Amino acid sequence: MLKIGIILGSTRPGRRGEVVAQWVHEVASKRTDALFEIVDLADFNLPLYDEPHPPMMMKYTKEHTIAWSNAIQGYDGYIFVTPEYNHAVPAALKNALDFLFNEWKDKAAGIVSYGGGTGGARAAENLRLILSELHIASVRAQVTLSLFTDFENFTVLKPNPRQETAANTMFDQVIAWSGALKTLR
């Protein structure tokens, strides 16, 4: 069975990402075609990139890099949960992506973004550029959660029912692509 990591891409105290990642996991857990697990960047406490060698060489010298590599490499695909900070992904997510290369390569990803009026759509587009450089195939379907319409008082997640349909369409694509890309790995 395919294994999909739901990567919580914010480490900020008071972040909305935890409830978003939990919602994504709840929706995904209703499925029987893949296993889904939450991977919280905050659990890894990665410093700014501090390895002496390029990540594609996999000559890791730091315990935190080895732990991050071990956590990521076993997944067949990913769902990235990201807020939008200044039209982009959070620095913690960009940094975590930069720590590795081969672990990401030839895998598929979906994106669940959240933010103001556009629901984090600009962060999702920014993330797609980064993912393509890491040889991650991002699928077309995505979920964009607006702080105005999918959260009550900007804090309590109450997604519009159409969001679950969007999430399942994204899961369908991530699972299909993850299976297809497995032949390249």
Which domains does the chain possess?
A: 2-181 (3.40.50.360)
What is the CB-side half-sphere exposure of residue 153 using CA atoms within 13 A? 2
d(CA 159, CA 74) in angstroms, rounded, equals 30
The H or E element spanning position 28 is helix 17-28
d(CA 84, CA 145) in angstroms, rounded, equals 11
Per-residue model confidence as pLDDT tens digits over 115-160: 998 999 999 999 999 999 999 999 999 999 999 999 999 889 999 9
pLDDT at 181: 98
Six-digit token pair at 114?
């959240």
pLDDT at 77: 98
Amino acid at 145: L
Which residue, among 127, 87, 93, has the nearest Cα to 109 in the 3D structure? 127
For residue 62, the SS3 value is coil
pLDDT at 117: 83
Per-residue model confidence as pLDDT tens digits over 13-65: 999 999 999 999 999 999 999 999 999 999 999 999 999 999 999 999 999 99
d(CA 131, CA 177) in angstroms, rounded, equals 14
Q: Which residues contact 97 (CB under 8 A, 6 or more apart)?
A: 104, 130, 131, 134
Amino acid at 161: P
